[in-house]
Amino acid sequence: MSGLLLLALLMVLVSGLIAYFGDLIGRKMGRKRLTLFGLRPRYTAIVISVAAGMLIAIITFAAAFIVSKPVRDAFFKPREILQKEYDQLSRQLKTEKGNLREAKLQKTEAEKQMLTAQQQLAGVSKELADRQGKIEEKKRQLSKVESDLRQSAEKLRASEKDVKATGAKLLAEGKKLVENGNKLVSLKTDLTNLQAQIKALDPFLIANFSPLAFASGQEILSGLMPARGSSASVRRERLLSFINTAEQIVHEQCDLKPTANAIVFLRVDGEKITKLRDNEAVALLSDRLAGVTGAHDAIVRMAPANNVAVGGQAFVIVNEAEETNAAKVQIIPNTQVYNTGDEVARLDLTVTSQLATGEILTRLVDELLRGEVPDALRKKEVLLILRRFDPARPIGLPGASPSLVSWSDLTAAAEQVRKLSGKVSIIARSSKTMNRFDPLDLSLEVRGSD
């Protein structure tokens, strides 16, 4: 922009100079009566002035031709090409305008949807507050009814004592008793209605105020199942035993009645949620196991998608359902993690004469076994399995499987460290080949500084 402005100013100055010198030369030649091409002095001056004007036009056109591409295109490009470029630019402009209108419509629609969602949320919040207010009101009414009943009973006892004193007082108290009886019937009716209303609110109260048996994503049960290459009947038989054990665990943790359904299996496809029977869930899990690669067996980890309250049901998503972030049944190949003798973790200590055996044991347990070893397993993406399914005894409830280190090995390692001084490393090694489902069997190696 600044270059064009400078060029324009320069052209104005050059044009002014050319006009000035053309006029000056014309006047001098007129006064000296000089001639050009044999013309008379008067016409010679006119020719010079006209030449100066033509020179100004030539310079202006040359500058525009050099600076402006459209000017060059107007001279060298055919009209059809220019018209085609103009039509193409016009179509692009219409397309961009259409895209702009569509974007504005999408923005308006999104704003409407957001406003609708906010209004729905406000309505649900208000309805919840109203219900909670009604519950409190019913509780206050129930307390008042109980208080009135106690007062009526006290009055009745006082009336029974006074009835023996006089017949008139007995008649009066009898009338009052009848009135209280009528009131009691009315109160019992109100109490029955109130209990029905409270019973209708039981699912809401259980879901929001009961203690949790399982948090969302918390392991119910993990088991090792045959995967790719196994027969479908073997997989389904093992899975059915696994599901029965999981339901028994939920029954006990949630304190459910024996006839109650403990686990509800779900299939999630986008926004569609389908409730599955046990055999349908087994078939779906069997198909997922058949698609496992990298290992002959796989870990099946079952966890609820919801927070399961005591007295409630566990909702378990069986398919992979990548479109939802809720917890679902995980199937993980049971690949090898450690070979025999592989280092799992280590703890470095500085041993002094003041370091007691008890303190060494404490650090071995707290820092090595509870700190470094779990960190190493997490880095290897090894699951923390708390309930390990055993197909040999599917009815018995499984228990936790911690890392296996005997107390004698711990005390022996602590005594060995105590005899050393300076920098000492305690190395936890795998005592055997370990896959992802296996409990970690550790041996301890004490190594002093050289």
Q: What are the extents of the domains in the chain?
A: 2-76, 212-334, 338-448
pLDDT of residue 439: 84
How far apart are alpha carbons 136 and 130 in whole angstroms? 10
What does the alpha-carbon distance between residue 437 and residue 227 come to, in Å, rounded to a whole number? 14
Distance CA 185, CA 188 (A): 5
* Predicted pLDDT at 171: 72
pLDDT of residue 277: 92
Kindly list the averaged pLDDT for each block of 10 residues, start to end, along the chain of length 450.
61 71 68 66 72 75 70 65 74 85 85 84 81 83 81 75 66 73 71 59 52 88 87 91 91 86 90 90 91 86 91 90 75 91 91 86 88 88 81 54 72 88 90 87 84
**pLDDT at residue 165, as a whole number:** 67
CA dist 352 → 412, 414, 416, 422 (Å): 18, 13, 13, 7
- Report pLDDT for 400: 44
What pLDDT does 402 receive?
A: 47
Alpha-carbon 93 to chain mean position: 41
Instruction: For the chain, state the CA radius of gyration.
Output: 47
Would you state the pLDDT for residue 34? 61
Is the distance from CB of 266 to CB of 319 less than 8 angstroms? no
Structure tokens at 369: 């076994």
